[in-house]
Amino acid sequence: MNVPADQHSSAANTALSSSEPVQPVVAPNSGKKTIRWEWWAYGITLAVILAIAVPVSYRYWAQSQRAAFKRQCREAVSRKKWDELLARAQAWHKWEPRNDDALVFLAQAAAELKQMPLAVESLGSVSDTYKGALQALAFRAEMQFSDLNRPFDAEATWLRMIRIQPRADLPRQRLIYFYALTLQRHKLVAQLEESIRLGCEPPEAYTYLIMKDTLNFSDGLAQTTRWRLADPDNEILAAAQAVYAVKQTASEMIASFASETTSADAEALFEKALERYPQNLELLALKLDRAVFEGRTDVVLSSLKQAPGSAGDDSRFWRFRGWLLSVTQQPEAAEKALLKAIELNPFDWQARWALADVLRKLQRTAEADGISRIALEGKLLQAKIFERPNARDVDEQLIRAIHAYLQKTAPLWIREAFDQRVD
């Protein structure tokens, strides 16, 4: 049926004024409803606005929250309210676990409140890329080394610092001291040589390099004893403690080797350590040193047989072997052993002294005289170094003496590095 135009208009007006919802237009023969494109455009626009606005709003809120935490922590530090700082830092860390500033404030509060394990844990969690990572880790290592008596944990922290910044001088210096104090000679030399090659060696590096086979510390016994209380089964600490014990007199001074007898307790400690760790190089080397001084070839022979394969890389054991071969009238073999000792440690004046004696037996007097002069220079230099309160106390006179000895004994690259540092 045909509907007049005015009736069409009336029907349309009635539909628009109706309170019922407007139904979508149905496409002819489609069988499905389609939403007008205006509604799609509106929905997409709204989604885009929300996608931009929500993250931006959260970012501004997070920055504000972070700034508030930082301000509160700084205020607590300025007022030295360590309990308050701990609470604020913990709240910040809980809200933002990976924030390095929060971890540092938390560690500061814990350290001030003598909660060292918490401070160490917090500082260890800072990221390697944090702007203050090296400073944070340096504090951590010192707490591990001194406050917690965990020197090997401190070693791991210093090594981490070097991985972050290979030329960082502080961790290099601390590692060199730790390896020297605990008589870890192979690690000591490796750290010294790496530091020298990178040009970040501490001033005492060359002192340690020259003295690596005669290391001794006035506080060595006290330090190793304290560390052993926390780590009684550590072989490195047990050996170092025993060595320092028999090198110390009853008056708690470093003994002049074999010039004074040590206490019975120290001897018992040494023998107990040697019994427990019969192949420890430091214990064996001291036993051999004493046997050579006393001229006991039987003890030297048995101790050399007892030494592990790693002794083949230790100059001291080649020196002991050379001495034994010399006193048993085998000068040619003794010469080879002593030359090997000097190859492994060109600064060993004792090996040169023994070699000079062997060369005289071989009627090579001119060579012997030249080598003995270098040996005497090394012996006198060692005495000068032992007179110093510590390895870092190096004056101009001692620097000149070290320089002169290096010129006669050291490889070229070490001589050049020393000259560059001195200049």
Nearest to 314 by CA among 356, 345, 351, 283: 345
Distance from C-alpha of 333 to C-alpha of 329, rounded to nearest angstrom: 9
pLDDT for 248: 78
pLDDT digit string, tens, across residues 411-422: 999 999 999 988
Q: How many CB atoms lie within 10 A of CB 226?
A: 15
pLDDT tens for 77-100 read: 999 999 999 999 999 999 999 999
**Residue holding tokens 């000679």?**
185
Better-scored residue on pLDDT, 58 or 259: 58
What pLDDT was estimated at residue 268? 93
| List of domains in the chain | 63-165 (1.25.40.10), 220-394 (1.25.40.10)
Phi, psi of 90 (to 5 degrees): -65, -40
The tens digit of pLDDT for each residue in 252-301 reads: 444 434 434 457 889 999 999 999 999 999 999 999 999 999 999 999 99
Query: Virtual CA dihedral for 43, 46, 50, 52, nearest 10 degrees?
Result: 110
